[in-house]
Amino acid sequence: MVLELKQGHPLAVLLKVAELSRSTFYYQARAQQLEDRHAGLKRRIHVLYEHHKGRYGYRRITAALRQSGEQVNHKTVQRLMQHLGLKSLVRPKKYRSYRGQQASVPNLLARQFHAERPNQKWVTDVTEFNIRGEKLYLSPVMDLYNGEIVSYSMQKQPQYSLVGGMLKKALAKLADQDAPLLHSDQGWQYQMSAYRRKLSEHGVIQSMSRKGNCLDNAAMESFFGTLKSEYFYLNRFDTIEQLQAGIRHYIHYYNHERIKTKLKGLSPVQYRNQALAA
């Protein structure tokens, strides 16, 4: 109020009426000017937060702002998000380690989740969703080079065609010179002769986790945790078909829009395209 009336009245009089000290007045004025200075940035932060449906914390918001050409400090973004009451809705998942026996197929991946180039190392698994007693199974394959979901399939029954369909689409994307290592757990689908024959025909090397050791396939487990915490647990579904459509939309978002700090603030597809263009 004092600041608004300052133009037409002596400051000393206003401060006396408001019972406000001069030092307090200038402190509040500076604070208000600081907030006004960041008004545009706060609007852009809020737009990004809403666009990504609350999945982004201050680190990803900072990376997205920088990607658009804005030079901003992550601490500033963190402070402004706290002021706006914006907080990532996603909580990190923790996975427990179990001791297991060596698989019949060796664990060639050996938890080396870094890849030097696209289609060098793939990982796969199956996860289950439950909607009012109805189940949906998702089988994706991920490229460890950039975390991109190369292909996936969904079915209401955990039949071999679930994994077989995913594998067929993934193999179709390989160039003649590509011969990735494909890692999975010891699920029955990955031990079937039809699965192993397809790998052999395309020169794909099979690798399997040790029995009961989920950390041997931690990259795929991490994706499932992200999918469920960022999408499945934040929404309500009336039908399996609604969930299927949502998962398709989320995987497209995950590949093309969702930035990763370890990919220099790029999405998986952006990172791959940048590498291919170099």
- Higher-scoring residue by pLDDT: 112, 91: 112
CA 7, CA 92: separation in Å to the nearest integer? 52
pLDDT value, residue 13: 53
Tokens (6 digits) for 225: 């945790």
**Residue 24: its pLDDT value, please?**
64
Whose tokens are 């990607």? That residue is 67
**Which residues have CB under 8 Å from 209's CB, separation 6+?**
100, 103, 107, 183, 184, 185, 186, 216, 217
| Interatomic CA distance for residues 44 and 31, integer angstroms | 20
Per-residue pLDDT at 100: 40
The predicted-structure confidence for 80-97, as pLDDT tens digits, reads as follows 888 778 777 765 554 333
> What is the per-residue pLDDT for 17?
52
Please list the alpha-helical segments (H only) found in 94-239. 160-171, 193-201, 218-230
Distance CA 158, CA 136 (A): 8
Q: Which of 9-13, 66-70, 190-194, 257-261 has the lowest mean pLDDT?
A: 9-13
In this predicted structure, the answer to whether residue 5 has a pLDDT above a threshold of 60 is no
Kindly tell me if the per-residue pLDDT of 239 is higher than 50: yes
List the Cα angle 22/28/29 in 5-degree steps: 85
Residue 25 has pLDDT above 80, yes or no: no
Average pLDDT (66-77) is 84
Lowest mean pLDDT among 11-25, 56-70, 180-194: 11-25
Q: Where are the domains of the chain?
A: 1-33, 38-84, 121-277
Q: How far is CA 266 from the centre of its chain?
A: 11
The two most distant CA atoms of the chain are separated, in Å, by 91
Among 87-91, 103-107, 227-231, 267-271, the range scoring the smallest mean pLDDT is: 87-91
pLDDT more than 70, % of the chain: 82
Q: What percent of the chain has pLDDT over 90?
A: 57
Does the pLDDT of residue 102 top 50, yes or no? no
Q: What is the pLDDT of residue 206?
A: 98
Closest by alpha carbon to 196, among 212, 182, 210?
182
User: Tell me: the pLDDT tens digits for 121-177?
Assistant: 999 999 999 998 999 999 999 999 999 999 999 999 999 999 999 999 999 999 999
CA distance 188 to 195: 10
Q: What is the mean pLDDT of residues 60-89?
A: 82
CATH code of the domain occupying 121-277: 3.30.420.10
Mean pLDDT, rounded, of the chain? 85
Confidence of residue 11 (pLDDT cuts 50, 70, 90): low
On whether the CB atoms of residues 177 and 147 are closer than 8 A, the answer is no
